[in-house]
Amino acid sequence: MRHRYLTLLRKLLVSDRGDIKDMSMLDLFRLETENQTAVLSTELMDLEQDPGAEPKLESLMRAAHSMKGAARMVGMETVVHIAHKMEDCFVAAQRKEIQLGSDHIDVLLSAVDLMNQIAHLPESELQSWLLQKQEIVERLQWRLEAINHNQEFLTKSGEGSKRVTNHHAQHGNTVSEHFQQSERSPVSDEPVLRINANRLTRLIGLSSELMVEARWLRPYANSMLQLRKRYGEISALLERLRTGMQGGVIAQHHTGMLIDAQRKLIDCRSALTERILALDDYDRRNSNLSAQLYNEVLASRMRPFAECTQGLQRMARDMARKLGKEIRIVFEGLDTPVDRDVLEKIKAPLNHLVGNAIDHGVEHPQRRKQLGKIPCGSIRVVAQQLGGMLVVSVVDDGQGIDITALKSKILQKGLVSKAVLNNLSEPELLEFLYLPDFSTRDEVTEYSGRGVGLDVVRELVRQARGSIRIKQMTGQGCKFILQMPLSMSVVAGLVVNIAGEAFAFPLSRVQKLSSVSEERLSVLESHQYVQINGEMIGLVSAQQLFGGRNEWHCRQELCHIVFIANENKKYGVIVDGFIGQKDLAVQPLDARLGKVQDISSAALTEDGEPVLIIDVDDLFRSIEAHITEGAAGSRVAEVEKQNKNLQTVKTVLVIDDSLTVREIQKQLLQAHGYRVDVAVDGMDGWNAVRRKKYHLVITDVDMPRMDGIELLHAIRQDNHLNSIPIMIVSYKDRPEDKQRGLDAGADYYLAKGSFHDETLIEAVMDLIGEAFS
């Protein structure tokens, strides 16, 4: 085991040092460019808010000077000239010869973009890029010279305002003869992981201690060999003694042999005791060092939240200027440590939400004045740790969400009838914002109106095992709250016993624990409840969910309950016992298993026992399906009584990732006597059809994990399921979309745009008839 730790650590350290050692001068220049252009961008935008700020100008001058020096080292003369002219501008501003305004900042930011492009262009494309972009480079240099001499230049939507940004993948420059001809090692395709120097030092120190500890094993093994040899001597003595005593007379020298054997046994026992104590001590040291090493390596994956916000301020500034708005963006909690994998997954949703706040939320300055607000709108991005989770809030002080306009758009798209719409609560109405192809804007602009929005954000957040919710006050602003795990490698879990097996609830999703007597449980409409602090909370047995038992009764003095909650519901899950809280190293399930219902991953405890980690969001769906079966039964009970001669109540499975759409369809079908189960996406629906028989499946197309077309193919290819009628209800209403669904095996295709109560029920009756047969 120790050898394994050392091998892994050695690989980590060698590869980490090798990344720097093997980097060419060009690689190092690119790394330097990333750092210095980040400083330039941030400080320029800060300077725009506080023109003439001496510390900002000093920092900008130093960054430009560093860029000039680094570019000169690799022979990138164009970058040298641009950085030099930028440096001159900052020096002139320091001397009060010029004052840098927003138009000047635009030009300087364009220069930053250009230098970034040059640094990251593949070496083989540098010369050709320079020839193609020579006019842009010369124009930019001229404009920088004009700023330095306080001259007028074009800044509006003509050639002078053109950006040269083309992401960070199209860059280039002139190259000196020396730079062209020098040999460099090829750029590695492997990702480089940056580790804090102090943390790397601690890793090396721990590895040294582990190596010393590993060397202790050899003399320990030798001492055990000596102990075995001494036992052999004792065995030989006892054998001689046995042979000598066969005559029945114990001679004096036999007595001496017996005493000698006894002494050797005592010595061996003492030596063995010492070795056992030494082994215990070694085990403790080994465990402590291993834990420290593990924690340090794990910590090396954690990066400050600030890395997720790089470029966000620049994006907000440029977008606000194009829209004619004034925006001040503030970041809080930038030092919050987050797993780098989570950071990568949260960047896109964060960019979209900030862009949404600028475009949809914050009003134009004139409108804000009319409303009694300051002209400059505010957007706050706040990151914090709460209950072992990363919580990121994007808060603006804009107009909020116009509920009246939202209702109008829902009716305009024909998503629900007016009668149903009037009964929806505000949270249910806000759920429509997550639907694909849904936009509150009528006109299509660079930023809005295409219907590609919050549905993508929610899907990206779900992929990171997170959630998103909205809080808003019309006219006062909006708040989007993202909740995600701090790390995708380790989870703090509550390990419980369910039917003799170990399962773990992520601790961040556990509200509280309780152990109550069975007398405190009450039954309502065949479902169990418990009253906690005056609140009636529904209960479900984990054995029913995971073990497939139809009935359950508490057979212990106390019933152990784990309370879980999401944005809308709270439930208590009855388990067989609490094992304890543990930090679990997450291991993904074998891909061949597919999505295992209610399980997200697995882990091993310190004693090697497997633990299944519960997917709480999936568990909520299973609980609701479990409860719905009983609820649906009670809803149709009266109709069943009136139709005693009818033997079967038909069951329909509704699959849609929109809570609102699911509920509307479920209520319509139940009102006509059908039993209804629901699933939140294709994978959830696939699990449902395999464990229960349905008369009809109604599915959406665009869903996470498994879309409707994939679900259709899976059902039609299964010999036991391919006869189930399937209806698609989708927002995609083009003829080619309809044909694609029918070709995949759908029996009916209904566009949500033409969705009405009657059309859905008529289509269902066409396929399977009335609820009773």
Best-predicted range by mean pLDDT (123-127, 295-299, 628-632, 674-678): 674-678
Mean per-residue pLDDT, 484-493: 78
Question: 33 pLDDT band (50/70/90 cuts)?
Answer: confident
pLDDT higher than 80, residue 15? no
> In this predicted structure, what is the pLDDT of residue 709?
92
CA dist list (Å): 182 to 8, 123, 176, 177, 178: 35, 12, 10, 9, 6
Q: Which of 66-80, 162-176, 365-379 bottoms out in mean pLDDT, i.e. has the lowest?
A: 162-176
Mean pLDDT of 162-173: 34
Residues 322/256, Cβ–Cβ less than 8 Å: no
Task: Provide mean pLDDT across the span 158-185.
Answer: 35
Band the pLDDT of 231: cuts 50, 70, 90: confident
Q: What is the DSSP letter of 187?
A: P
* CA 619 – CA 565 distance, rounded (Å): 11
**Residue where the block lists tokens 């909690």:** 333
Rounded Cα gap, residues 455 and 700, in angstroms: 14
**pLDDT of res. 651:** 92
CA gyration radius, the chain = 35
Mean pLDDT to the nearest integer, 318-336: 91
For residue 292, the model assigns a pLDDT of: 76
Question: What phi and psi, each to the nearest 5 degrees, are found at residue 530?
Answer: -135, 145
Query: What is the pLDDT at residue 278?
Result: 81
DSSP secondary structure, 627-646, as one string? HHHHHHHHHTHHHHHHTTT-
pLDDT tens per residue across span 398-425: 999 888 888 888 888 777 778 878 888 8
First to last CA, the chain: 65
Report which of residues 637 and 371 the model is more confident about.
371
276-309 as b/e: b if 16+ CB within 10 A: eeeeeeeeeebeebbebbeebbeebbbbebeebb
Please provide the DSSP assignment of 654-719 as one string: EE-S-HHHHHHHHHHHHHTT-EEEEESSHHHHHHHHHHS--SEEEE-SS-SSS-HHHHHHHHHT-T
On the question of pLDDT at 133 being above 70, the answer is yes
What's residue 157's pLDDT?
A: 36
The rounded percent of the chain whose pLDDT value lies above 90 is 15
pTM of the model: 0.59
Residue 743 CB partners (closer than 8 Å, separation 6+): none
- Give, for 484, the enclosing helix (H) or strand (E): strand 477-485
Q: What is the pLDDT of residue 566?
A: 75
In sequence order, what are the residues at sequence separation of 6 or more whose Cβ sits closer than 8 angstroms to the Cβ of residue 561? 513, 514, 515, 516, 530, 539, 572, 573, 574, 575
Place of tokens 């039993």: 675
Question: Looking at residues 211-234, what average pLDDT do you find?
Answer: 70
pLDDT (tens digit per residue) in 718-749: 888 989 999 999 877 788 888 899 999 999 99
Confidence of residue 626 (pLDDT cuts 50, 70, 90): confident
User: d(Cα 598, Cα 679) in Å, to the nearest integer?
Assistant: 13
**pLDDT score of 377 more than 60:** yes
In single-letter form, the type of residue at position 675 comes to R
Per-residue pLDDT at 10 exceeds 90: no
Residue 176: band (very low, low, confident or very high) from pLDDT cuts 50, 70, 90: very low
379 neighbors 327 (Cβ within 8 angstroms): yes
- Complete DSSP assignment for 50-87: STT-HHHHHHHHHHHHHHHHHHHHTT-HHHHHHHHHHH
Q: What is the pLDDT of residue 726?
A: 95
Q: Looking at residue 448, what is its pLDDT?
A: 55
Tokens of 722: 């391919």
Q: What is the mean pLDDT of residues 54-61?
A: 87
Label residue 450 by pLDDT band (50, 70, 90).
very low
What are the tokens at 331? Answer: 């970041």
Token pair of 312 as six digits: 């966000």
Q: What is the pLDDT of residue 215?
A: 59
DSSP structure class, residue 595: P
Q: pLDDT band at residue 364, thresholds of 50, 70 and 90?
A: very high
User: According to the model, what pLDDT value does residue 562 have?
Assistant: 94
